[in-house]
């Protein structure tokens, strides 16, 4: 007897075989089982799926259907809630279900043979046993602040979702640890997921969770999931989570699709971070899917941040005003005595610099660069402050969100600039290896000896990146010597030690951890870096943070730029004064040509509620998210005319279609325009924005428009088109 199965394989939404395919099996297989199936000349991994209600498979002759190749024995079927999460994500973000489902599984599942599977599962079974919770010495228990205790109490007595709004250094991570610990004690087989935005933040978090939970549940109780792991490591973590052996899963955005059959708690740390939004394939938001998954699995969801996204902040307004999240507030740093602004609804209390200092947060000092020496990089007051920190044996951090030596190499005679021949962008000058490198397509070449256009040998860098900043700072501090150190490991009288941390200096495996270890040990006096160092790290010795030239985002065409800048500066400021013994001395210096800008006024007071209220007011007046919903359709072709022509033709066809079905009543389709960087790797890029005050109306339109987009590509307007994609809820326009 044969059994007919509906199987999902990795196929794109526009292919002729999108959706489930029909196969036969000699054995009945549960929905959610992993199988290998033939497709054409290949053998692919597939998932037995729920048969669609309108499936014509029942009319097929079973003799004409191909049998599955094999089933992956020893792996429990994927749960109904996991399948529902994948289905929702695929439909909402306009991708095929098979593409999302198979991309969520470890790549090595596709490669291992049956014999290899047997050996792998045997090793996994030996390592997967979880012991009984061990007793913890009461002397090792962490003393919680009243704010932490209150937040945990509200979390335990309400259903959520929750937004934990806590100042940097207020102890949000300890709240996460306490909530996870209480869950595991209360429910013996429960699982928890804790997400971080970037891979480089995972080791620090993993160390804290391992120190807390490994003595109680064993080393295998905590696993990580991120793209920086090897395929074997990812498979091992996935199997541990899927089997229930792993009680806690730590990971980046990809972890939201991990199979955790007993999931009861989801924590999204730094929930405002744009890294939670995928930039390729299914362009999903892991933060938003976390809230949806919590509802599917009956799990509590906590979003945490010192600078929440404006969407989450808006959703956490009082329930009487339509809020859907419960806001938990921890406005004070650990050991502080004075609270910061604690807006709940429309109530906001401001504090001055003295109050901020007593609360443990750094005093914000704005330097008006209009009154400083012309072309100076470090203003004299800032340089003096850095020297003062060095003299006291403390550390400083200089933040500039631009890597490389200089963004452009320039000829003053003929105005030549180091443009990339393959992109509509400039190649960045990297002095260390004397290269001009495009950060978009990767094209690099040696720096020319003379201007390629006019032969002038005097070509010079324009602007500054972290490389040039590090070099310039070393020149300014050349005569400064380190004081007598608290530790004999670093003797006095040595030159000042400056370390740069960015994507270029941490390319080699383990280099980031080594550099961070030097900072934590006190070996480094000044840390220079990009946003890699501005968030998430617990630097205990840093008491001064300086932001160099943050003005670029103040007048950007992107309506989200002020939100991102304020968040980044607040997060950077939070790296200073995290040690309670010296927190009263900490400072945040901002060098700007616009010191009276409202953004810097709010930053000076550490007043996120006031900044958010002003931004939300502007967005409501302009009809921007979260008061409207958006989708971008991006097209790529060899010429800009083809890319824009495809979008314009699809828009015209959509207008005719929508008018017949009255789908355009609540939608606005904007004209096709080039993207801000319109050419990357010799591919021209265009985009078109669709906006609606109704999420449901936008989704109905996008679902119906898929057919139009596929049909348009087959028309003359679509010839030469390379690819197109829909980005729902885009973060960059």
* Tens digits of residue pLDDT in 690-704: 999 999 999 999 988
For the cut 60, the answer to whether the pLDDT of residue 486 exceeds it is no
Matching residue, tokens 């006095």: 492
Pairing status of strand 459-462 against strand 408-411: antiparallel
Q: Are residues 585 and 693 in the same domain?
A: no
Q: What is the CATH number of the domain that holds 63?
A: 3.40.1440.60
**Same-domain pairing of 453 and 474:** no
The confidence score (pLDDT) of residue 130 equals 47
Residue 14 contacts by C-beta under 8 Å, 6 or more apart in sequence?
A: 710, 713
Residue of 732, 729, 733 whose CA lies nearest to 291: 729
Of 444, 463, 482, which residue sits at a domain end?
463
**H-helix or E-strand spanning residue 326:** strand 326-330
pTM: 0.89
List Cα–Cα distances, 57 to 12, 14, 24, 60, 63, in angstroms: 21, 21, 11, 5, 12
CATH number, domain at 366? 3.40.50.300
Residues whose CB falls within 8 Å of the CB of residue 32, separated by 6 or more in sequence, listed in order: 47, 48, 49, 77, 78, 79, 80, 82, 83
Q: Are residues 672 and 556 in the same domain?
A: no
Q: Which of 34, 110, 114 is nearest to 76 (CA)?
A: 34
Instruction: Please name the residues in contact with 455: beta carbons below 8 A apart, sequence gap of 6 or more.
Output: none
Average pLDDT in the 287-299 region? 96
| Whether residue 517 sits in one domain with residue 393 | yes
Beta-bridge partner residues of 728: 631
Confidence of residue 356 (pLDDT cuts 50, 70, 90): very low
Q: Which of 284, 311, 330 represents a domain boundary (last residue)?
A: 330
Mean pLDDT, the chain, integer: 86
180 part of a folded domain: yes
- In this structure, is residue 384 part of a structural domain? yes
What 8-state DSSP symbol labels residue 50? P
One domain for residues 397 and 385: yes
- Quick one: residue 606, left, alpha or beta (phi over 0 = left, psi -120 to 50 = alpha)? left
- 411 in a known ligand binding site: yes
- Nearest 5°: CA angle at 609, between 607 and 613? 125
The three-class DSSP label of residue 76 is: coil
Within this chain, do residues 506 and 426 fall inside the same structural domain, yes or no?
Answer: no
CA dihedral 601, 145, 188, 88 (to 10 degrees): -10
Give me the number of domains the chain comprises.
Answer: 5
Evaluated on CA atoms 137, 139, 144, 150, the torsion sign reads positive
Residue 351 in this model has a pLDDT that exceeds 70: no
Sheet of 526-529: strands edge to edge?
A: 363-368, 587-592, 542-548, 395-399, 526-529, 498-501
293-317 in b/e form (b: 16+ CB < 10 A) is bbebbebbbbbbbbbbbbbbbbbbb
Query: Does 412 share its domain with 527?
Result: no
In this structure, are strands 191-195 and 248-251 parallel, antiparallel, or unpaired? Answer: parallel
The residues, any chain, with a CB within 8 Å of residue 623's CB and separated by 6 or more, are 691, 693
Report the alpha-carbon angle 376-433-228, nearest 5.
100
Q: Check residue 627 and give its pLDDT.
A: 95
Burial class (CB in 10 A: 0-12, 13-18, 19+), 110: middle
Q: What is the 3-state secondary structure (H, E, C) of 227-277?
A: CCCCHHHHHHHHHHHHHCCCCEEEECHHHHHCCCCCEEEEEEECCCCHHHE
More confident residue, 612 or 42: 612
Asked if residue 623 belongs to a domain, the reply is no
Q: Give the dihedral of Cα atoms 322, 325, 329, 331; nearest 10 deg.
A: -80
Is there a binding annotation on residue 451? yes
The structure tokens 């526009």 sit at 14
Q: Are residues 488 and 443 in the same domain?
A: no
Is 376 labelled a binding residue? Answer: no
* Rounded-to-integer distance, Cα 431 and Cα 406, Å: 8
Tell me if 733 is assigned to some domain. Answer: no
Domain coverage including residue 633: 629-728
Predicted confidence band of residue 137 (pLDDT cuts 50, 70, 90):
very low
Residue 299, in any domain of the structure: yes
| Same domain, yes or no: 18 and 89 | yes
pLDDT, tens digit, for every residue of 516-552? 888 888 889 999 988 888 777 778 788 999 999 888 8
Is residue 683 domain-shared with residue 711, that is, in the same domain? yes
Q: Residue 459 phi/psi, 5° resolution?
A: -100, 140
395 domain residue, yes or no: yes
293-297 long-range contacts, Cβ below 8 Å, gap at least 24?
293/81, 293/85, 293/256, 293/263, 293/266, 294/160, 294/161, 294/266, 296/81, 296/84, 296/85, 297/81, 297/260, 297/263, 297/264
Element at 38 (helix H, strand E): strand 34-39
Q: Are 7 and 68 in contact (CB under 8 A)?
A: yes
pLDDT of residue 481: 83
Tens of pLDDT, residue by residue over 435-451, are: 999 999 999 999 999 99
Q: Is the peptide bond before 626 cis (omega within 30 degrees of 0)?
A: yes
Report the DSSP beta bridge partners of residue 267.
194, 302
Confidence of residue 251 (pLDDT cuts 50, 70, 90): very high
- Three-class SS of residue 440? coil
Q: List pLDDT tens digits, range 165-175.
A: 998 888 899 99
pLDDT digits (tens, 9 = 90+) for 55-77: 554 556 667 788 888 888 888 99
The model's pLDDT over 378-403, given as tens digits with 9 standing for 90+, comes to 999 999 999 999 988 889 999 998 88
Is 219 within the bounds of a domain? Answer: yes
Q: What is the pLDDT of residue 126?
A: 60
Q: What per-residue confidence (pLDDT) applies to 51?
A: 80
Strands 542-548 and 395-399: parallel
The conformation of residue 319, written as its DSSP 8-state character, comes to G
Among 98-102, 286-290, 407-411, name the most confident range: 286-290
Q: What is the CATH number of the domain that holds 716?
A: 3.30.70.260
Instruction: Judge whether 55 lies within some domain.
Output: yes
The pLDDT of residue 582 is above 90: no
| 483, 436: one domain | no
Query: Does 179 belong to an annotated binding site?
Result: no
695-713 and 640-661 helices cross at what angle (nearest 10)? 130
> Which of 196-200, 663-667, 682-686 shows the lowest mean pLDDT across its residues?
663-667
Q: Among all chains, which residue has been given the structure tokens 């892991």?
A: 286
Q: What is the mean pLDDT of residues 267-282?
A: 92
3-state class of 452 per DSSP?
A: coil
Same domain, 650 and 557: no
Q: Which of 443, 463, 483 is the last residue of a domain?
A: 463
454 is in an annotated binding site: yes
């Amino acid at each position: 007897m044969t059994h007919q199965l509906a199987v999902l394989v990795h196929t794109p939404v526009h292919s002729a075989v999108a959706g489930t395919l029909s196969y036969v099996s000699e054995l009945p297989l549960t929905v959610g089982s992993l199988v290998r199936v033939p497709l054409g000349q290949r053998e692919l991994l597939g998932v037995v799926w729920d048969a669609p209600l309108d499936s014509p498979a029942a009319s097929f002759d079973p003799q004409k259907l191909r049998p599955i190749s094999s089933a992956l024995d020893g792996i429990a079927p994927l749960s109904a809630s996991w399948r529902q999460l994948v289905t929702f994500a695929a439909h909402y973000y306009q991708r095929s279900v098979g593409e999302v489902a198979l991309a969520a599984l470890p790549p090595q599942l596709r490669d291992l043979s049956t014999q290899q599977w047997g050996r792998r599962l045997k090793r996994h079974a030996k390592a997967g046993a979880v012991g009984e919770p061990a007793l913890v010495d009461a002397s090792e228990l962490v003393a919680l602040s009243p704010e932490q205790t209150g937040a945990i109490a509200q979390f335990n007595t309400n259903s959520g979702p929750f937004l934990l709004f806590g100042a940097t250094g207020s102890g949000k991570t300890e709240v996460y640890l306490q909530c996870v610990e209480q869950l595991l004690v209360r429910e013996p087989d429960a699982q928890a997921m804790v997400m971080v935005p970037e891979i480089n933040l995972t080791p620090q978090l993993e160390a804290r969770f391992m120190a807390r939970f490994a003595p109680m549940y064993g080393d295998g109780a905590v696993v990580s999931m991120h793209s920086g792991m090897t395929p074997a490591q990812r498979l091992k973590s996935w199997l541990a989570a899927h089997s229930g052996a792993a009680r806690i899963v730590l990971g980046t955005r990809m972890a939201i699709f991990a199979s955790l059959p007993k999931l009861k708690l989801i924590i999204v740390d730094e929930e405002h971070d744009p890294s939670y939004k995928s930039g390729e394939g299914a362009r999903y938001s892991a933060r938003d899917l976390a809230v949806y998954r919590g509802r599917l699995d009956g799990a509590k969801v906590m979003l945490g941040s010192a600078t929440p996204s404006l969407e989450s902040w808006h959703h956490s307004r009082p329930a009487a005003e339509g809020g859907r999240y419960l806001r938990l507030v921890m406005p004070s740093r650990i050991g502080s005595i004075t609270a910061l602004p604690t807006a709940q609804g429309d109530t906001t209390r401001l504090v001055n610099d003295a109050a901020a200092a007593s609360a443990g947060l750094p005093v914000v000092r704005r330097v008006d660069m209009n009154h400083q020496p012309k072309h100076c990089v470090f203003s004299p007051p800032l340089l003096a402050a850095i020297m003062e920190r060095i003299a006291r044996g403390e550390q400083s951090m200089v933040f500039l969100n631009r890597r490389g030596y200089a963004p452009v190499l320039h000829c003053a005679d003929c105005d030549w600039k180091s443009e990339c021949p393959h992109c509509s962008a400039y190649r960045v000058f990297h002095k260390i290896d004397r290269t001009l490198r495009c950060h978009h397509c990767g094209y690099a070449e040696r720096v020319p000896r003379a201007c390629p256009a006019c032969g002038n040998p005097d070509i010079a860098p324009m602007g500054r990146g972290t490389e040039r900043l590090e070099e310039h700072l070393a020149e300014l501090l050349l005569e400064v010597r380190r004081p007598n150190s608290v530790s004999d490991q670093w003797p006095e009288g040595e030159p000042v030690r400056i370390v740069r941390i960015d994507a270029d200096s941490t390319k080699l495996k383990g280099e980031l951890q080594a550099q961070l270890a030097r900072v934590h040990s006190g070996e480094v006096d000044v840390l220079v870096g990009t946003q890699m160092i501005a968030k998430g790290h617990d630097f205990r010795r840093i008491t001064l943070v300086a932001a160099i030239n943050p003005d670029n985002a103040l007048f950007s065409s992107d309506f989200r730029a002020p939100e991102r800048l304020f968040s980044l500066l607040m997060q950077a400021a939070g790296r200073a004064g995290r040690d309670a013994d010296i927190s009263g001395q900490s400072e945040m210096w901002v060098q700007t040509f616009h010191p009276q800008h409202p953004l810097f006024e709010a930053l000076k007071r550490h007043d996120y509620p006031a900044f958010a209220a002003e931004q939300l007011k502007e967005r409501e007046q302009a009809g921007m998210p979260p008061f409207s919903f958006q989708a971008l359709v991006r097209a790529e072709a060899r010429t800009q005319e083809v890319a824009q022509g495809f979008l314009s033709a699809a828009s015209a066809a959509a207008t005719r279609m929508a008018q017949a079905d009255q789908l355009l009543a609540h939608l606005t389709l904007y004209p096709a325009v080039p993207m801000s960087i319109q050419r990357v790797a010799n591919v021209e890029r265009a985009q078109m924005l669709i906006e609606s005050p109704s999420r449901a109306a936008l989704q109905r339109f996008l679902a119906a428009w898929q057919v139009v987009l596929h049909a348009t590509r087959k028309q003359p307007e679509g010839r030469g088109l390379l690819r197109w994609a829909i980005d729902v809820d885009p973060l960059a326009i």
